Each structure stands twice: as structure tokens, then as C-alpha cells.
Amino acid sequence: MDHPYPPAADLAGLAALLGGPVVPAARGLLGCRLTVGGVTVRITEVEAYAGTAGDPASHAHRGRTARNAVMFGPAGHAYVYFTYGMHWCLNVVTGPAGEASAVLLRAGAVVDGLDVARARRPAVRRDVDLARGPARLCATLGIDRSAYGLDLLADGPVRLRPADVPVPEAAVSTGPRVGVTGAHDVPWRFWITGDPTVSVYRRHVPRRRA
């Protein structure tokens, strides 16, 4: 797969990456570092969502609402949503203003602040499971609704920075997105091949009515 935006080498490069198309932006986020509340994770798994541009799995597919407004730009800001009545999930807004695309951060490896991460999730037995999955990632970082709309590239409480070492193309896998109710087989999930923090793939199965 061709990626017109290579992995970012600096903050300006990361801003340019996020301002472009969502699929290469998602690929380029692998290896980037996210720091919140004394914990830093290296991003190991992401999913791209194209918004109003024909992606029925996107929260913005049916247009702007109070919930998804930040998805419509500018790029580099945080879209945080609550799911299943118990979990927070974090997305990075991408693309030109008005296109409503975003990248869901699905998993990461804790590379700094391990003691703080463990204290936030004391029931987790293995460190590789601390941020393995989008809800777990937010719990480990202490992310909630207060992060909604924050500029992740600024020097604020939630900071996204380029990878120390870019992830080579040969080390990246791609496949269908997890648990979506539409466009099940679109291969817009990217992950670092073989990384133990990557979540388990589960295809969405509609619930049967009793």
C-alpha cells in the first residue's frame, strides 16, 4: 500500500501527516508516543475512520452532532467518546477541516510511568495488557471526557509526539477493523506486527433478538 505521508520525524511533520488523508495518517501514528498524567505509551495499533466520505462505520457518517463535532476539524485534536456505558476511547482527528475523519488509538505499550499505569489498573497481571485495547489504553492513561477537543500537538495535558524510531513498512500489518457494525472488512486497522500489546481481532456479530 502506498503512503503519501511518511512517518513523521518531528512535530511539524506529524502535523502535516495528520492534516492529510486518514489512512496514511493512521499508518504514520504507529510508534508515536502519547503522554498523559505521568504515563507514556508507544502506539502499537490504530484504526482509520473516514467520516462522511462513505464510511458507514464512522461516528460522523450521518453528519455533525454534538458528540462528534470535533471530528470536523482541525486535525490533531482529540475526539473522546464513551462506549458501552463504561469505557472511554480516544481518537486523533485527521484531514482538512470539514472532512470529519479520525484515527482510533487501539493499543499501546507503556514506555514511561509504569508504576503509575500499574496503580491505575491494579488488577492487570501482565504489563503488556495495560493498554491492550482502546478502553484499556484510556484507563491506563487516565483519559476521560475532559480530554475532548484538546490539541494533542500542543504542550498540554495530553501530548502526542513523533516516534523516536519510525516503524518500518515491513513491520506493519493491516486488516479489517474490530467490532464495527458497518464496512466490516475494510482493511483500515494497522498494527505493529508481532507486538504483544496489540488487541485480539473480533469481527462484529449482530445480537439476535429473543
10-residue averages of pLDDT along the chain (210 residues): 59 95 95 96 95 70 76 93 85 91 96 97 96 96 96 96 93 88 82 94 59
Question: Parallel, antiparallel, or unpaired: how do β-strands 158-161 and 101-112 relate?
Answer: unpaired
- pLDDT score at 53: 64
- pLDDT score at 178: 85
- pLDDT score at 163: 94
pTM to 2 decimals? Answer: 0.90
Instruction: Give the architecture-level CATH label for domain 11-192.
Output: Roll (3.10)
Name the residue ranges covered by the structural domains of the chain.
Answer: 11-192
- pLDDT score at 134: 95
- pLDDT score at 175: 93
- pLDDT score at 186: 84
